[in-house]
Structure 1
Amino acid sequence: MTEEDVAAPHTTEQPDGLQVTAGATGDIHLLTPTGEIDHHTGDALRRALDLTGTPHPRVVVDLHQVTFMDSSGINILIAAHRTLTDAGGWLRLARPTHAVQRTLQIVGIDTVIDCHPTLTEALDD
């Protein structure tokens, strides 16, 4: 699958500034957060990752527009990974910015959640 295959995205925005665009490509949910993911803004991402009731949910979070992520963002991703895996699905991360990639590596989340340098790789089954 490619970026061009993403269908009808919709956007939710947290008043504090994090915007999350959600779309789908086939049966893969694609989330693209824009801005900073922290204690004040993380709820927008948490809500977008809540796919309760979706059988075998598969989600790619495209991080190329995230400028900062603290431990709150890490915790949101870990919780989503567990929930999605328990539901028979998966979570993948794509295109993290240098700053976000460094955070993912420092805490070791890149060894727990599949991280991909490109969106195309993350979308491939």
Structure 2
Amino acid sequence: MVEIESARQPEPLHVSSTATDGVTVVRVVGEIDHASAGPLIETLDLDALSNQPRLVIDMRGVSFMDSSGINVLLAAHHDLAPAGWLRLAGVRDSVLRTLKIVGVDTVIPCHPNLKEALTG
């Protein structure tokens, strides 16, 4: 008898945003990869953020991120840099390890929690 392991289905990505004291807080829950990054890309659209160019991404709920997610974060940082900033909050150890390997943590500040990211 041969057992066939079924392919693991990725966790869907849920993105929501709110404004707090002039800062947009984007909460992301799920896995960020090539197939799921669309909602995050739409939320981080520069035209949508032009009124509040200070952004914190709450990543407590992100269980996995590949290079697609890294590219989304770097593009948002680049778009916001002239007039604002981007900070990450609550990045899980497994995702933070990926960010550190490629040096994203040296470009985009990573804070242990949302409160510290908001106060910077």
TM range, smaller chain: 0.7 to 0.9
Q: Which residue of 2 aligns with 1:42?
A: 37
For 2:97 and 2:43, how far apart are their aligned partners in 1? 24
Q: Which residue of 2 aligns with 1:119?
A: 114
Q: Indicate the SS of the match to 1:17.
A: coil
Alignment root-mean-square deviation, CA = 1.4
For 1:89 and 1:48, how far apart are their aligned partners in 2? 16
One-letter identity of the residue aligned with 1:82: H
Is it true that 1:81 corresponds to 2:69 in the alignment?
no
For 1:20 and 1:79, how far apart are their aligned partners in 2? 17
For 1:90 and 1:66, how far apart are their aligned partners in 2? 21
C-alpha contact 1:17 1:41 (8 A) present in aligned 2: yes
**Divergent runs of 4+, >2 A:** none
Is it true that 1:94 corresponds to 2:85 in the alignment?
no
Q: Indicate the SS of the match to 1:52.
A: helix
Tell me the CA shift for residue 52 of structure 1: 1.4
For 1:92 and 1:110, how far apart are their aligned partners in 2? 10
Deviations 1:12-42, CA, capped at 9 Å, x for gaps:
xxxx711001111111000011000000011
Which protein is bigger by CA-based radius of gyration?
Answer: 2
Q: Indicate the SS of the match to 2:26.
A: strand
Q: For this pair of structures, how many residues does the alignment match? A: 109
For 2:55 and 2:21, how far apart are their aligned partners in 1? 11
Q: Which residue of 1 aligns with 2:55?
A: 59
TM-score (norm. length: structure 2): 0.86
Structure 1's unaligned 5+ residue stretches are 1-15
TM-score (norm. length: structure 1): 0.82
Q: Indicate the SS of the match to 2:24.
A: strand
Q: Which residue of 2 aligns with 1:72?
A: 68
Structure 2's unaligned 5+ residue stretches are 1-10
C-alpha contact 1:64 1:94 (8 A) present in aligned 2: yes
- Counting aligned pairs with the same residue, the percent is 50
